[in-house]
Amino acid sequence: MKFIIGNWKSNGTIEEKDAMFKSLKNVRTNNKIVLCLPFTLLDKNISHAHLGAQDISIHPNGAFTGDISGKMLKDAGVECVLVGHSERRLYHNETNDIVKNKAKVALDNQIVPIICIGETLEEKKTGRTMTAVKKMLLESIPDKYGDYIIAYEPRWAIGTGLTPTLEEISAVHETIFKALRGIEHEDTPILYGGSVNMDNASQISSLPHVDGLLIGGASLKSETFLPIINVVK
Ligand code: PGA
């Protein structure tokens, strides 16, 4: 079983969400399908996929206009939540410390955090991918082992149509796996994300230590999302 997780970002209407779940009805797969939807589309009554969110407040409740708490997400039927997506780190100044806190809040609310990490183009160009990814990983994960997921997403590969080579993905996933094994968190699933599409999904998801995929653009429409679900074995 592999995870196939869609991230709709700031996209999607109720009609588009309903159409997606309708088409997922006919999919036969052993993979675990999750859609991380915008807050406005979170719907307890969905079936044929698991419900995910894209952010969680650090605060349990109170005067924090615009924040959605863990308790509220749980109440809305959310099973997992993205934390530290590179767009949150970049546009909302989320640090490893904030990400770690958000992951802890998710776990405290019985929601699985999907902790995103990945190097910048600058780090890649200067040969610092492994050090950057390892530092981000160890500073962003909760201290105690919990039911969390890691998504390795090179920043430069997100929404660009560019992907690392299969060898590069393999090497980073192995580094992440070894770092997690070093702290006895080796059961943590490690996903790859960044310009995944129906042409590269099968090969990437078959690599060792790749336990699934996190998909942005290609998860928005059933014509591009369903073929990915079908090719991942
Ligand atoms: P992409 O996005 O598939 O559009 O590159 C991935 C992500 O941001 O999670």
pLDDT in tens, 68-107: 999 999 999 999 999 999 999 999 999 999 999 999 999 9
- Cβ(80)–Cβ(111) under 8 Å? yes
Which residues span the domain enclosing 227?
3-34+63-231
* 167 catalytically annotated: no
Residues in a beta bridge with 112? 80
**Residue with tokens 């970049």, as numbered in its chain:** 90
- Cβ(37)–Cβ(16) under 8 Å? no
DSSP E strands in 63-194: the ranges are 80-83, 112-117, 149-152, 190-193
- Cβ(145)–Cβ(181) under 8 Å? no
Which atom of ligand 1 is found nearest the CA of 82?
A: 9
pLDDT digits (tens, 9 = 90+) for 101-131: 999 999 999 999 999 999 999 999 999 999 9
In the three-class reduction of DSSP (H, G, I as helix; E, B as strand; rest coil), residue 96 is classed as helix
pLDDT digits (tens, 9 = 90+) for 179-188: 999 999 999 9
Assessment of whether the complete model's pTM goes beyond 0.75: yes
Per-residue DSSP letter, 141: S
Within 10 A of 197 (CB to CB), how many other CB atoms are there?
15
Average pLDDT, the chain: 96
Closest residue by Cα to atom 7, ligand 1, is 216
Q: Would you say residue 43 lies in a domain?
A: no
Which atom of ligand 1 is found nearest the CA of 158?
A: 5
Q: How far, in Å, is the centroid of ligand 1 from the Cα of 4?
A: 12
Which H or E run includes 177? helix 166-182
The number of distinct structural domains making up the chain is: 1
Q: Would you say residue 193 lies in a domain?
A: yes
pLDDT of 146 higher than 90 = no
Letter for the amino acid at 51?
L
Q: Would you say residue 161 lies in a domain?
A: yes
Q: How far, in Å, is the centroid of ligand 1 from the Cα of 159?
A: 5
pLDDT of 191 higher than 90 = yes
Within 10 A of 199 (CB to CB), how many other CB atoms are there?
10
Q: Would you say residue 159 lies in a domain?
A: yes
Which atom of ligand 1 is found nearest the CA of 160?
A: 5
Which atom of ligand 1 is found nearest the CA of 195?
A: 5
- Cβ(215)–Cβ(3) under 8 Å? no
Confidence of residue 145 (pLDDT cuts 50, 70, 90): confident
Measured in degrees and rounded to the nearest 5, phi and psi for residue 83 equal -130, 140
* 48 catalytically annotated: no
Q: Would you say residue 207 lies in a domain?
A: yes
Q: Would you say residue 215 lies in a domain?
A: yes
Closest residue by Cα to atom 9, ligand 1, is 216
* Among candidate residues 80, 35, 10, the one with its CA nearest the CA of residue 222: 35
Q: Would you say residue 123 lies in a domain?
A: yes
* Among candidate residues 20, 73, 22, the one with its CA nearest the CA of residue 44: 73
Within 10 A of 66 (CB to CB), how many other CB atoms are there?
6
Confidence of residue 151 (pLDDT cuts 50, 70, 90): very high
Per-residue DSSP letter, 218: G
In the three-class reduction of DSSP (H, G, I as helix; E, B as strand; rest coil), residue 159 is classed as coil
Site to substitute for ligand 1 among 86, 152, 158, most atoms within 8 A of C-beta = 158
CATH number at residue 76: 3.20.20.70
Residues with CB under 6 A from ligand 1: 7, 153, 158-159, 193-196, 214-218
Torsion of CA 208, 214, 215, 220, to 10 degrees: 140
Site to substitute for ligand 1 among 35, 196, 228, most atoms within 8 A of C-beta = 196
Q: Would you say residue 39 lies in a domain?
A: no
Q: How far, in Å, is the centroid of ligand 1 from the Cα of 212?
A: 13
For residue 144, the model assigns a pLDDT of 81
